[in-house]
Amino acid sequence: MFTTSKRRSGAITMAAAAAFVLAACSSGDADEQATAGTSDEPTAEESTSADASAFPVTLDTVMGEVVVEEAPERVVTLGSHEHEYLYALGVAPVAVPVSWQGYDNGTGPWAEADRLAAGAEPELFEPGTTTYDAEAIAAFDPDLIVATYPNHTMTQEEFDLLSGIAPVVTRPATDSEGNETAEWGVSLADELTILAQATGTTDKAADIIDQIDAAYTEVREAHPEWEGLTSQVGGYYEGQAFVYAVNDTRNQFLANVGLDVTAVENTEEAWLQISAEQLDTVIGDLDSVVWQVATTPEARGELEALPLFPSLNSTEVGGNIWLSDPILEGAFFANSPSSILYSLDAFVPMLEQALDGDTATEVVPFESAS
């Protein structure tokens, strides 16, 4: 099953900024297109019917037990990627947040096949970045509200208010191993499982989890030489380098292909800012760093200009990967079934180049089809 960190995440005051640093800097092109996954991408031939016998169901969420009495027919999502999980399950939400990259239908091209297969034509709305607009949400007449990956920490007051409209599904209280979940750090398997329970699609979820697990396993088995190599996902924002929390979904992706993302200390918080003077002591020994620079293209030059950047091990061994394609950056952030398969197709060649042990090998940045 998917590799996840067992570390607990503490109270995160900067969580929303860390999780949505991409959105804050977004300059995505809504008309840009890409090949939506591969022939192995899990899509339903038609919208999946909910298993009515699965209801009522009681969900163990971080906000407490939530009861869904019957199969939902009008689902509204509040976060950046929950709708993509629902598309993969064959569920068509009636309303989803606007895309931070400006895409039609609230999602990137990697999820279009799943959206069309589910028959989803959702209305778009601004969910709010600091508080939810309960009146706007209620206007969609939902019978289920999904906020497993919200755009800000949901308060008890907000939860109670929204629960007066419809059952609200937040992230699971514990993961599959019984550990407390971290906000914005739930694994795909755990998030998909609770959403499938809420929508009566557990059989479909099991198939998807098996397929994604097989895709990761295929990569690990093809690259046993990656075992033990260290990596992290980072970037440069407002004058400081940073790396994401060890349980961030992007670092989960690297862990699932066989890399060690635990080597950097103090990454229990949403992100770890690194001053220019500490660059070599904090991330100096990593074998590889995935630098997100698509929405902040100037960041690459700023990073490379830092005095200590040339002395990083990832620089000396040719292990830096520049994530400069906006579509891939969005897919990497989404961590949905369709986006993971898209990201695997894009990342594996770059990882092969970065981790081959030959400093002369150029790491060619991925470019999506346009």
Helices (H) and strands (E) in the chain, counts: 14, 12
> Domain boundaries in the chain?
41-216, 223-354
**The pTM is what?**
0.87
Domain 41-216 matches domain 223-354 at the CATH topology level: yes
CATH superfamily, domain at 41-216 = Nitrogenase molybdenum iron protein domain (3.40.50.1980)
| 320-323 and 288-292 strand pairing | parallel
Helix, strand, coil percentages for the chain (3-state, nearest 5):
35, 15, 50
How many other CB atoms sit within 10 Å of the CB of residue 85? Answer: 30
- DSSP 3-state assignment of 289? strand
Please give the CATH number for the structural domain made up of 223-354: 3.40.50.1980
Q: Spell out the residues 6+ positions from residue 202 whose beta carbon is closer than 8 angstroms to its own.
A: 51, 54, 193, 196
Measured CA to CA, the distance from residue 227 to residue 318 in angstroms comes to 18
pLDDT in tens for each of the 370 residues of the chain? Answer: 333 332 223 222 233 333 334 433 333 343 343 433 433 444 333 445 788 899 999 999 999 999 999 999 999 999 999 999 999 999 999 999 999 899 988 999 999 999 999 999 999 998 877 889 999 999 999 999 999 998 888 999 999 999 999 999 999 999 999 999 988 899 999 999 999 999 999 999 999 999 999 999 999 999 999 999 999 999 998 889 999 999 999 999 999 999 999 999 888 778 899 999 999 999 999 999 999 999 999 999 999 999 999 999 999 999 999 999 999 999 999 999 999 999 999 999 999 999 999 999 999 999 998 6
